[in-house]
Amino acid sequence: MKRIIIQLGIAGLLASSLLLPHSAIASTHSKKPVAKSAQAKASPAKRVAVKTVRAQKPVIKAKRVSGRAVKPAKVTKVAAAPQPKPSYAQLAGLHGKQDALDLKSSVAFVVDQDTKEVLFSKNENAVLPIASITKLMTGVLISEGRLAMDDIIEITQDDVDTEKGSSSRLRVGTELSRGELLHLALMASENRAAHALGRTYPGGLQHFVGLMNQKARVLGMTDTRYVEPTGLSSRNQSSAKDLATLVNYAYSDATLRELSTSTGHQVEVGNRTLQYNNTNRLVKSPAWDIGLQKTGYIAEAGQCLVMQAKISGRKLIMVFLDSAGKLTRIADAERVRKWVESGHPATAKPSPLALRGFDSRIATN
């Protein structure tokens, strides 16, 4: 009997040991549907969030190279190009004024040298910086000073431009004759040449500038003021009417006529030969008969041009101030020439105007 009981006990133990793994497996399988059910009950928002996180993982991995985070590329900021400095005429609102010839210069003045008849005028009374037109008055004083033109003048540090920082091929120490410096100042608008002429004038630079202003008053140029002999300073100012008076007066000097209209000139500087050309390309044009001219430019003045020229048998004086560009002053002069050659319609003022300084100084050539 005991043997039977023992055997039954062993059998029960074996049965229970076989049933435990089966129940555990059954228990595990029964939990899976529950998990799926819980996931199925999750809100759509949560599912979207899960998907979003999973989608971002490749992006994060893409920013790592060899286990090292790659820094974003630096963005180089490019500074905007500086705007050109407006001229005095632009600041005064003169540049946009329309005229019958569609000139691009803010100021224009055309007068018959013999009859004093004003053919064309535009802002002719505006007082503005005149840039290197200044050198025409410098030339007048040097020529009338009866100074020896073969005297040698040395370019010094005092002649270097500290106003605008402009360059020059006349190095400090260069020695040229007064006549050559005058030639370069009038023809090529050489600033160091003009300054040296004023600096070496008897009495010195300030005395020379005083004589420039005195000459302007004598000529009746009441709108004109000079502070130095080159035109680099914007304080050298005048009006178109005054400049027409100056051109008329300067035209009576054969030296100024010859030097200002010269197409080119070479100077020997040490072992170098420097070639200079006229700043006014019209002096080379067969369509023009120019008796005297001068160009000028600084930012405050814009592109400027004064001329005496013979057109259709008439000797005319033309003044253009604050032209829009280097070539537009030439284009404006061409427009005026063609307009005069066509008979200049009724834009001219019918009654002659006696310009200051014209009556007793009409020159013939």
d(CA 300, CA 232): 10
Nearest in space to 249 (alpha carbons), one of 352, 140, 107 = 140
The answer to whether residue 233 is catalytic is: no
The answer to whether residue 132 is catalytic is: yes
In the set 87, 121, 132, 323, the catalytic residue is: 132
In the set 104, 135, 215, 315, the catalytic residue is: 135
Nearest in space to 122 (alpha carbons), one of 327, 323, 342, 279 = 323
d(CA 92, CA 106): 10
Q: Give, as one character, the DSSP assignment of residue 225.
A: B
The backbone torsions φ and ψ at residue 8, rounded to the nearest 5 degrees and listed phi first, read: -65, -35
d(CA 228, CA 237): 11
Give how far Cα 135 sits from Cα of 20, 170, 191, 224, Å.
118, 17, 9, 14
DSSP labels for 232-256? -STT-EE-HHHHHHHHHHHTT-HHH
149: left (phi over 0), alpha (psi -120 to 50) or beta: alpha
CA 113 to chain centre: 34
d(CA 170, CA 267): 10
Q: Hey, what's the torsion of the CAs at 322, 324, 330, 331, to 10 degrees? A: -130
d(CA 355, CA 357): 6
The answer to whether residue 189 is catalytic is: yes
d(CA 324, CA 66): 60
In the set 106, 143, 189, 239, the catalytic residue is: 189
Q: What are the helix (H) ranges across the chain?
A: 2-41, 44-62, 88-91, 134-144, 178-187, 191-199, 205-218, 240-250, 254-261, 328-341
What number of H helices and E strands is found in the chain? 10, 13
Q: Provide the annotated active-site residues.
A: 132, 135, 189
